[in-house]
Chain A
Amino acid sequence: MNAEKQMATTPKITMRDVKKSFGDKKVLDGISLTVAPGESLVIIGGSGSGKSVTLKCILGLIKPDSGSIMIDGKETTGYSSAERDAMMGKFGMLFQGAALFDSLRVWQNVAFGLIQGRKMDKDQAHEIALQKLSQVGLGRHVGDLYPAELSGGMQKRVGLARAIATNPEIIFFDEPTTGLDPIMADVINDLIVDCVKDLGATALSITHDMASARKIADHVAMIYEGRIIWYGKVSDLDHSDNPYVDQFIHGRADGPITKNATFKAA
């Protein structure tokens, strides 16, 4: 009973005081956050605030200078490359530019994690790939095309199909709607919500698109200058009493967050 309760409350992702600098530039200045199983957390923040680096630290693509990152309660910062490869089996990731392998056909892209990562039989992986493609609204014929022959929106969908192909426990979305028209952006948002629910997965997204954040988030964390300055339920976003959050969600140029962009002479 006790152990069961313990299992249920172990957060999927825990970051504690994670710091990272590139040269003299402090990008992460003590990030702490937790994501519970089955929860969808969206990190919002401006360009250059440290969102992408946070994500890449959790994935292990960037090594933090200090702090602790735990997945399912296990410390990952000291992992060897073999342990890391194994950990990646739990993850799926949708990249900002989709990051499809341009030398492979669409279905091979979707099946990549199954064939190369899990050594699945090719025909079986092909079937699963086509099934995942239809889940994101793409027909069988798309599977035989090359990524360069697809539009941006279709590439994102293929990227999503690839991210969910291995039925991951945790899915990361890096600016899922950037570069898409508003309708396609909403389609992608719907797909993300459906896929995450369908898999019962935990989701961590970063975005600066508030429409997207409102749609896919359970909780929202706002990052500014390498720190989490606000965390709360998505329903509390509009009455956060936080001037930074207020400025960001309303997209105002004036406020505590300054971009130092002006034509006027100082």
Chain B
Amino acid sequence: MDFKEVIGYRRSIRYFDPDREVEREKIQKILEAMRIASCAVNAHWLQAIVVRRADIPPDVLEALKMPVAALVQELAPVHIYCYLDPSVVVKTKGKRLKELHDVGALNPTHGWSHKFVDEFVYPQILEPLTKSPAYPVAAAFDCGGAGTQGLLMAFELGLGACWTAFNADVAKKYLGVPDHWLPLYEMNVGYSLESRDAGGQRPRPPFEELYHEGRYGVPFRRDPVVVKDLERDKVLTPPAPLPGRKEEIRRIAKQLGLPE
């Protein structure tokens, strides 16, 4: 699928074929997409544990579920539990920044050298940052970016996916997660039972409410010509609700034996 269409047709899929396994290679591709995401100071805080739902004992699966996400977790054949490892910056002490320098990504043109990393960036910026209350927020932002890259890859591969929360205490015990890891979200992955448009692009707040230009309160002007371009390129796809959505949900509900 074209990159723009991947963006345009991504939906949070909540109905998966519970019996259709996801090929291991596709899971790897999702993880590979996460690994090459943009990341501040090349730290790579995101850690992920892939679990096949069928391998989770029923009592554990029950306990992992969250009230508003239980069915998604039950249907998705693959769960990718995402965590943030806050220890990585102190562990690597600027080593990954120096790797960026060595391959020509961070250059003297922008003030970068090994000495700069060792004597300034790590001791005066990174190490103190790890003690700041803002640190987990910054790291989580990066994890979100990496996770999204994996999410888009799932759709590119013809899969569906949906983020949900999970019971972190249960997961920690079951997955053997280190004490210092912070739980983020679970990516539920599988083959969608929903149509490609899945009822249409979901409602979003108005563009001008979210994006500003120059200063807060000055809406970034939305050019209708650009909107038309994006519609043509299928980044902006027909909005929900599309005709036939209720019938689609009823059909899936009957197929899976769900309440209406």
Are A and B physically bound partners? Answer: no
Interface residues of A (CB under 8 A from B): none
